[in-house]
Chains A and B, each alone.
Chain A
Amino acid sequence: MGSFTSIVYKEIKELVRDPKILFGVVLLPLLLYPLMGQGIQISQQAVETSIKGAKFSIYSDDAGTIANILVQYIKTNNTVLTIEASSLQDALIKFKDSDSVALVYIPNGYSQNITEGLKGNVKIYGNLKNLNLAEASSSEVAGSLVNVYNYYYSLSLIKSLLTDSEQTGSPVAIHDPIRLSFASIIKGNVIEVSPSQITSLIVSQSIMLPIMVMMMVIFAIQMAATSIALEKEQKTLETLMTLPVGRLTILAGKLTGSVVIAIAGSISYMIGFSYYTSSAFSFAPQVTSVDMSGAGIGIQPMGYALLGLVMFVTLVSALALAISLAVFTDSVRSAQSLTGVLIVPLIIPAMILMFSDIEMLPQTIQWVLLAIPYTHTMLATKAALLGNYWIIVRSIGYISVFTVVVLWAAAKIFSTERIITSRFTNLTFRKRKKQSS
């Protein structure tokens, strides 16, 4: 076995045996995506069941028959607590202390108004005890119950009016003369899904993706920094450098070992991601019924391949950067705090891209963001979703150029003696001493 392969082999062996690395780079993306999917599903289900099991209260000030019919209708469709009270004030106090989440209030005059062909008032109070989504949705449910009633009541009115005036026509059509529907055009294909459904899907992804990229890169950086710092702390790097093996061979071997792990990371990232997109599509039930990939929205094999490549060059650059920085430190802790600085250019684009689109930003901010290589990784994931492959290719190009520069710097650093003599902790200490004297 040559020196290079033997260093690579040793490096992989070490990294694979480190449980932190196995977890962070390989298992985490595999686990996290399905967990995120599950998490969303579980919380949606929780909201749904708590809406279904929600209790409503009814307080009616109107003793008329028409009001009674509404009360009966709501009662047959839900668990309902009828509040007996002398006034609305009183009813609200009782409602506040009850375990029901919405109060349907029918004021006096409701029956009268409707009999006279006017609008009858109904008011719904939501009881926001915990300020959660389920509570708010429950009052919506109460509202839609009333709306359903409203609709059928109106239909029956129209029907009787039609009969009375001996005219023909469909009560449904008269009630809603216009049938409105939406469709979207994506890359020249007409797809029978509303634009808002598609954008909400993409928005949800564009929040998840930057976070995921950020986490992967942070883990890779920590992995490489820890590994090189351990070599310095344990003086194994110093030992290696007295062996009959070139310094660039040592650097290349170390880097290749980390890259192999990073490839495993990229693959598990892609698997996790494809799992996530497939389950994310199932969150929007109306959308699944349509073949989205036919419209070019889902990620095609080409997109996955390019995404994997983006993740790969991103990780290589991050690893080379981490190695170049960590080599100046003399302990794992100082290496981790020094490479921690690298998290800043990751967090900034992640935060901005999570909440807005790059095209929406002012020109100067766009340029600043685009100068950061990791921005391109995040943009590429969204581009893959939309099938804009040339954007991904551009990203790969830019990150690759950046990577080459970093590798060149790393090679320079490895061929000087500074790799042995520089001591990050001492360096800062000495500077401080100089300033104070």
Chain B
Amino acid sequence: MGLAVKIQDLRKSFGGFEALKGVNFEVDEAEIFGLIGPNGAGKTTTLRILGTLIRPTSGQAEVFGHDVVKDANAVRVILSYLPEDAGAYQYLNGEEYLRFMAGFYAHEKTALEEMVQAGRDISGLGDRLRDRVNDYSRGMKRRLLIARALMIKPKLTILDEPTSGLDVIQAYHVRGMIKDYAKRMGVTMLVSSHNMLEVEYLCDRVALINEGVIIAEGTPTQIKTRYNAVNLEQAFMEATQLG
């Protein structure tokens, strides 16, 4: 199996502040990879570089062999990115939103309709898709956005904190939606979170990031045994003390 993501000594500075201090990790094809860490650890910065939104100060990042800086357009075709705390256009309805976004990928009618139908199914919003996004709850909005991200059948899906700001029930649904889709389609996902339990449930492999560096990497079980912890939360605490 090939490599979906390859990050080597990635650095990023904002003004004088170094947000990433040499990040290294790899994501295999068809796995769900979790990037976990506290606020300000550098998760969003890493994902934005992969999403071609910002350029690294130094180091390399590749998505399926395409360099995110030199080959940004090729990366954009195969990637789907859900920003942290994203919303949708409030004056469009859910259906219109899916159709608008699908238009950038599907250029003929049948392909477009197929894509929109996939979006409808993944969202599970049914008739509510005909209501304006403005009237949606946070949970419904998130489901619409994740459906948008997945309906285009991307080779790599990047979800930045897909359940942040949702209540327990909505977060549970959204997590179920992601896991279910991944199992069915065998897709590659890179998910960030600071909810360790969520990551343990969703991800095949995780990387712990803190203050711009990766402090541990492996399957949840590997990490837990390495730090002799009952869960990832405890492992994280141990790891940061060591680092």
Residues in chain A within 8 A of chain B (CB atoms): 1, 3, 6, 10, 13-14, 17-18, 230, 233-236, 238-239, 241-245, 417, 420-421
Contacts and interface: CB of A to CB of B under 8 A. Distances in A.
A426 B88 CA distance: 24
A242 B79 contact: yes
A421 B54 contact: yes
Given A6-B100, A6-B104, A239-B81, A234 B88 contact: yes
Contact of A236 (B55, B84, B86): B86
25 contacts: A3-B104, A10-B100, A13-B96, A14-B91, A233-B87, A234-B87, A234-B88, A234-B89, A235-B85, A235-B86, A235-B87, A236-B86, A238-B53, A238-B83, A238-B86, A239-B83, A239-B86, A242-B52, A242-B79, A243-B76, A244-B104, A244-B105, A245-B76, A420-B48, A420-B53
A47 to B, nearest CB: 46
Given A3-B103, A235-B84, A244-B104, A14 B92 contact: yes
B103 A1 contact: yes
B73 interface: yes
Contacts of A230: 90
B43 to A, nearest CB: 15
Chain A residues touching B, majority SS: helix
B77 interface: yes
Given A417-B54, A420-B54, A17 B91 contact: yes
Chain B residues touching A, majority SS: loop
A292 B73 CA distance: 62
A243 B104 contact: yes
A234 B73 CA distance: 23
A244 B86 contact: no
Interface string B86-121: 111111100010001101110000000000000000
A122 B96 CA distance: 80
A344 B55 CA distance: 36
Contacts of A420: 48, 53-54
B53, B79, B92, B96 — most chain A CB neighbours (10 Å) = B53
Interface size class of B (residues with CB under 8 A): 20 to 34
A14 B133 CA distance: 12
A245 B76 CA distance: 8
A18, A238, A241, A242 — most chain B CB neighbours (10 Å) = A242
B51 interface: yes
Given A17-B91, A244-B104, 10 more contacts: A3-B104, A10-B92, A10-B96, A13-B92, A233-B87, A234-B89, A236-B88, A239-B81, A239-B82, A242-B51
Interface in B162-186: none
Contacts of B86: 234-236, 238-239
A336 to B, nearest CB: 17
A233 B104 CA distance: 22
Interface of B: 14, 48, 51-55, 73, 76-77, 79-92, 96, 100-101, 103-105
A417 B91 CA distance: 27
B48 A10 contact: no
Contacts of A17: 91
Contacts of B14: 421
Contact of A234 (B77, B81, B90): B90
A233 B90 CA distance: 12
A8 to B, nearest CB: 11
Given A6-B100, A242-B51, A242-B76, A236 B105 contact: no
Contacts of B100: 6, 10
A206 B48 CA distance: 53
A18 B86 CA distance: 20
A417 B52 CA distance: 9
B48 to A, nearest CB: 7
Query: Closest 6 A-B residue pairs measured CB to CB?
Result: A234-B87, A235-B86, A17-B91, A242-B81, A235-B83, A417-B54
A25 to B, nearest CB: 15
A10 B87 contact: no
Contacts of A241: 52-53
Contacts of B83: 235, 238-239
B89 A14 contact: yes
A396 to B, nearest CB: 33
Contacts of B79: 242
Nearest to A422: B14
Contacts of B89: 10, 14, 234, 236
B158 to A, nearest CB: 8
Nearest to B48: A420
Nearest to B102: A6
Nearest to B133: A234
A79 B153 CA distance: 88
A241 B80 CA distance: 11
Nearest to B100: A10
A383 B208 CA distance: 69
A13 B88 contact: no
Contacts of A3: 103-104
Contacts of B73: 244
Contacts of A242: 51-53, 76, 79-81
A417 B55 contact: yes
Contacts of A233: 87
Contacts of B76: 242-245
A236 B87 contact: yes
Contacts of A13: 91-92, 96
A213 to B, nearest CB: 28
A13, A14, A239 — most chain B CB neighbours (10 Å) = A239
Nearest to B55: A417
